[in-house]
Structure 1
Amino acid sequence: MINPVWLRSFCTLVEVGNFTRTADRLFMTQSGVSQHIRKLEEQLGVLLLLREGKHFTLSDAGERLYREGREVILTLSELEAHVREDSAYEGEVRVMSPGSVGLKLYPRLLELQKQYPKLVIDYRFGPNSDVETSISESRADIGFMSRPSTLADVSCDQIMEEPLLLITPREIKTPTWETLNVLGFIDHPDGAHHAYLLLSENYSEFQYSDQFEKKGFSNQISLILEPVSLGLGFTVLPSYAVEAFHSPHLIRAHHLANPVSEPLYLATRARITLPKRVMTVLEEAKQWLGNSR
């Protein structure tokens, strides 16, 4: 394979026409330029320059190498510039979070993409464990988690807290323990965890979510409140998931006597410098979530 440094020296020499001026342009010595040309000729096994004292002309092989070599050098220069580009508003940014914060944040990031069309938002929903693994394996640039990471290569910072809410059908004004038992529980992947956090602080009778008759289950964050709105049961969800529900007039969100919030952590790959486009999305997300408390 032709050494691209030697090839650049050769093409520059042909364009400049003088060893001294070529050395000045490439910030080299004249002997260094001569050495590059000699090594290139030795590697290819042909004469590239026909020397006449201090002057030279190109051999047939030299003409062919220059014609094709200058295109290679131009391509390499463009590649170098492209690799060094770090635009704040161009390129793909991969974001991953649990469903509740995603329902709140994703529409906002789409507005950002609308403002900067070359900024591409790839948003995935997943549980904490998937978010953590994706950040660790560089399959996501930004992650949001409701617990700190246990992995050394994932950096986590708490950025806010999201309130947990007890959600019942609209007609329930006072959610007594007896009322909840009659309604039954609409479960979801984090249902038992959320129920324990909130209900254990507000109902002395509560021990675990299985105390309630299970009236339904959904693993789609946008569908969990559908059975609640139909009067089929109650559930416990983070506030962003409740705010995003399309029929708020059919449900009632209860702020209990002892409020409980779930922390939200921002996760990124540890010990790396984030590209500017990722920082653009990250700062937008932090500002939006911070202003939405």
Structure 2
Amino acid sequence: MVNLLWLQTFCALVETGHFTRTAEKLAMTQPGVSQHIRKLEDYYGCVLLNRRGKQFDLTDAGQQVHRQARQALAMLGELDRSVRTDSPWEGVIRIASPGSLGLKLYPALLDYQRAHPGLSMDYVFAPNDSVEQSLVENRRDLGFVTRTSTRAELSCVPISSEPLLLAMPAGGGAVTWEALERLGFINHPDGAHHASLLLGANFPCFEQISQFTQRGFSNQIGLILEPVSRGLGFTVLPAHAVAAFPQQASIAVHHLSNPVSETLYLLKRRFQQVPQRVEMIINHIEGLLAEKRFE
């Protein structure tokens, strides 16, 4: 790879048009400037300058090297400035979370991006295991999960909680064990886990989700309540997913006698300092999750 110092010297020489002034500008000796130019010519195997005493002109090769060297040095300079500056309002922020939280959080983060156009939100909806793995592999800057992480590479801090709700078709009547058995269960990737938590706390006869006939399954967070709205079964979902469903009049949402909530945990890579923009977005998310309107 070409020596960047030689390119810097060459560009400075072309811009000043004089070996002595170039040496003064770069705090070098004039022989040192000449040596850099010779090394650059040796590297490319061609003459870059047509010398005429103390004057010179660029050869065709010299013009090409100068043009591309200026572009390359400008890009490296911009990279150096951006890395050293670490602006809280510029750059990509990579986040992963389960779908329910994402349905509520992502639109609010887009509002944050509109207020700070230098930012770019890269948001992925994923189950807990995938969120963890993306942090370990440095594909995400931060993540949210609904259970504690045992990965030694990650720090895991509780940040909020989200209620689990029972959703039945509208007009389905009272919530009884017999009514749930008649309806059957609409399953989803976390369905058995959510149902075990909520139904196990409220129905003594609950043992496992297989006690109910499975009437359907969907892994799309925005569509899980679609079969419920059509009278095809019931399900259990976190509150944010229920609130995001557009056809609220077609479902009946029940808060049971013994409420159950899932704890939300913030994941970051352990012992790794995050950029200022990520620290700022963490603070913003903490504020959103603390607001009553966001519940």
The question of a shared fold, defined as TM-score above 0.5 by the shorter chain, is answered with: yes
Q: Note closer, same or farther for the CA distance 1:183–1:50 as it changes in structure 2 (3 Å cut).
A: closer
Question: What's 2:35 paired with?
Answer: 38
Question: 1:50-93, CA deviations, whole angstroms, 9 ceiling, x for partnerless residues?
Answer: 697xxx443x5x66676445434432332123313244444443
Q: Note closer, same or farther for the CA distance 1:71–1:43 as it changes in structure 2 (3 Å cut).
A: closer
CA-CA distance at 1:237 after TM superposition: 0.7
Question: What's 1:184 paired with?
Answer: 184
Unpaired runs of 5+ in structure 1? none
Q: Note closer, same or farther for the CA distance 1:227–1:272 as it changes in structure 2 (3 Å cut).
A: same
- State how far apart, in whole Å, the 2-side matches of 1:75 and 1:101 are: 44
Q: Note closer, same or farther for the CA distance 1:280–1:70 as it changes in structure 2 (3 Å cut).
A: farther
Deviation larger for 126-135 or 227-236: 227-236
- State how far apart, in whole Å, the 1-side matches of 2:159 and 2:48 are: 66
CA-CA distance at 1:279 after TM superposition: 4.1
User: Does the residue aligned with 1:175 lie in a helix, a strand or coil?
Assistant: coil
Contact map agreement 2:22 2:33 (CA 8 A) in 1: no
Contact map agreement 1:186 1:233 (CA 8 A) in 2: yes
Q: What number of residue pairs does the alignment pair up?
A: 284
CA-CA distance at 1:210 after TM superposition: 0.8
For normalisation by structure 1, the TM-score amounts to 0.82
User: Does the residue aligned with 1:222 lie in a helix, a strand or coil?
Assistant: coil
Question: What's 2:215 paired with?
Answer: 215
- State how far apart, in whole Å, the 1-side matches of 2:75 and 2:214 are: 59
Question: What's 2:18 paired with?
Answer: 17
CA-CA distance at 1:29 after TM superposition: 4.8
Contact map agreement 1:101 1:241 (CA 8 A) in 2: yes
CA-CA distance at 1:7 after TM superposition: 2.9
For normalisation by structure 2, the TM-score amounts to 0.81
Question: What's 2:77 paired with?
Answer: 81
- State how far apart, in whole Å, the 2-side matches of 1:51 and 1:35 are: 19
Q: Note closer, same or farther for the CA distance 1:42–1:139 as it changes in structure 2 (3 Å cut).
A: closer
Contact map agreement 2:18 2:55 (CA 8 A) in 1: no
- State how far apart, in whole Å, the 2-side matches of 1:195 and 1:57 are: 84
RMSD: 3.0
Amino acid at match of 2:41: L
Unpaired runs of 5+ in structure 2? none
Q: How does 1:131-142 map to 2 (within 5 A)?
A: 131-142=131-142
Q: Sequence identity, in percent?
A: 45
